[in-house]
Amino acid sequence: MPDITYRLPQERNLVTSLPGPRSSELATRRKRAVAAGVGSSAPVYAVDADGGVIVDVDGNSLIDLGSGIAVTSVGASNPQVAAAVAEQAAHLTHTCFMVTPYEGYIEVAERLNRLTPGDHEKRTVLFNSGAEAVENAVKIARLATGRQAVVAFDHAYHGRTNLTMALTAKSMPYKSNFGPFAPEIYRMPASYPYRDGLDGKVAAAEAIDRIEKQIGAGSLAAVIIEPIQGEGGFIVPARGFLPALADWCQANGVVFIADEIQTGFARTGSWFASNDEGIVPDLVTMAKGIAGGMPLAAVTGRADLLDAVHPGGLGGTYGGNPVACAAAIAALDYLESADLASRARHIEEIAKPMLRSLADETGVIGDIRGRGAMLAIEIVKPGTNEPDAVLTKEVATAVNAAGVVMLTCGTYGNIIRLLPPLVISDELLIEGLDVIGSVLKAKAGK
């Protein structure tokens, strides 16, 4: 693995208690200006970031174990990405691909066609956000199949727009009181080995049986699934679950959509999480890690599906913005040249044993799971598998206050998740994990 050079000192360094005075001032201003519905996990306001650190307005340097929710895999100020953005912005920031197209869009499409699983003929269309990509994947699947029903799973997260809220499983905070939701969405049981104890094939057979009885393959346009469920709890399905679903879809003319928005771009140790079990989705939705922090999203998949849509049927003012495309090309180059997929696997090798000893020491970790740099621990009441959301929240608050940006998730709010930038140094990663460890031990009374 090549050495990574950093612009900022890679250290946790607190010069005030958190939040510091400038962050507190901004929190007051924010309260009067920003909608209360937007939350933030850390109480500090950022001014700079590089590698594994985020620097706040008070000069505190924090360890980043969140990557802005799995986005800044190449770092939040990757020099190649920054240079590509500046260069592109100096020429043109926007013309609209639907008005005066440009090469960057085509280049990104070519690369995604190459990088996504399968060597069949593919096409790509670009958007701004993950939710928009998911919406469009469903539009494409419906038009191409002439069918309407869509299957999503328990614990799924696919976005916050109307259709994607309907696909998302969890009511609070994502859906509660925001309905009515889009019709023709059916929810099926997912594979959650820690909680259902089912073998992947058995779990898939159960879901498929329900699909056949409740919907019927002839009415079903698409099955959409995250290969590792993200917001729902970093749930890795039992082996065999995903291939069985994908095979059933193929046999029944149902479009299999892999939502790789959180799992994509080397996060799990390969380009896409689908690669792990050799799944070849019909459509892949991507965003987050694709463009080093610039907003860009994509749907890539079978040429016959994407080309089934009439000219003008897909688009949007900003989709595939030239600056975002330039950033994506630089980020994809960097992911490859710095072999960040290996680094993701290396992060797992460092973190998993530390989490295992923490489980032994505290007795409150029911499950350790995930792949590459998408790792999680499930916090439970000792001796049971009962979720402990209260302890999870207390730990997260204390870890953040100690200068480590760390996120939680999960249907039951009891998952501590790790999504470090893939460029984090070993030392900083270990220090971040040590902070989590000592906080967890103290809170669990150990």
Binding site for ligand PLZ (CB under 6 A): 69, 129-131, 134, 157-160, 226, 230-231, 259, 261-262, 287
For CA atoms 200, 388, 37, 171, give the dihedral sign.
positive
Based on CB atoms, which residue is closest to ligand PLZ, 132 or 367?
132
The CB-of-152 to ligand PLZ minimum distance in angstroms stands at 11
Gap between the Cα atoms of 237 and 397, Å rounded? 29
140 SS3 class: helix
The CB-of-374 to ligand PLZ minimum distance in angstroms stands at 11
Amino acid identity, residue 180? P
Based on CB atoms, which residue is closest to ligand PLZ, 4 or 331?
331
The CB-of-417 to ligand PLZ minimum distance in angstroms stands at 11
The CB-of-353 to ligand PLZ minimum distance in angstroms stands at 27
DSSP state at residue 317: S
The CB-of-252 to ligand PLZ minimum distance in angstroms stands at 24
DSSP state at residue 394: H
Token pair for 225: 């699934």
The CB-of-198 to ligand PLZ minimum distance in angstroms stands at 22
Based on CB atoms, which residue is closest to ligand PLZ, 137 or 444?
137
Based on CB atoms, which residue is closest to ligand PLZ, 58 or 135?
135
CB 146 within 8 A of CB 220: no
For residue 44, give the nearest of 16, 18, 14, 76 by alpha carbon: 18
Q: Which residue is nearest to ligand PLZ (CB)?
A: 130
Amino acid identity, residue 373? A
Our CA dihedral for 168, 170, 173, 178, rounded to 10 degrees, sits at: 60
Based on CB atoms, which residue is closest to ligand PLZ, 226 or 348?
226
Could you identify the residue written with the tokens 């998911």? 134
Gap between the Cα atoms of 186 and 215, Å rounded? 8
CB 138 within 8 A of CB 150: yes
Gap between the Cα atoms of 297 and 389, Å rounded? 32
Gap between the Cα atoms of 327 and 7, Å rounded? 19
Based on CB atoms, which residue is closest to ligand PLZ, 104 or 227?
227
Longest dimension (CA), the chain: 63
The CB-of-311 to ligand PLZ minimum distance in angstroms stands at 26
The CB-of-130 to ligand PLZ minimum distance in angstroms stands at 2
CB 295 within 8 A of CB 261: no
Based on CB atoms, which residue is closest to ligand PLZ, 211 or 287?
287
Based on CB atoms, which residue is closest to ligand PLZ, 19 or 130?
130
Contacts with 374 (C-beta within 8 Å, 6 or more apart), sequence order? 70, 228, 230, 234, 262, 263, 267, 268, 344, 417, 418, 419
The CB-of-427 to ligand PLZ minimum distance in angstroms stands at 28
The CB-of-301 to ligand PLZ minimum distance in angstroms stands at 16
Based on CB atoms, which residue is closest to ligand PLZ, 71 or 204?
71
CB 404 within 8 A of CB 47: no
Based on CB atoms, which residue is closest to ligand PLZ, 58 or 226?
226
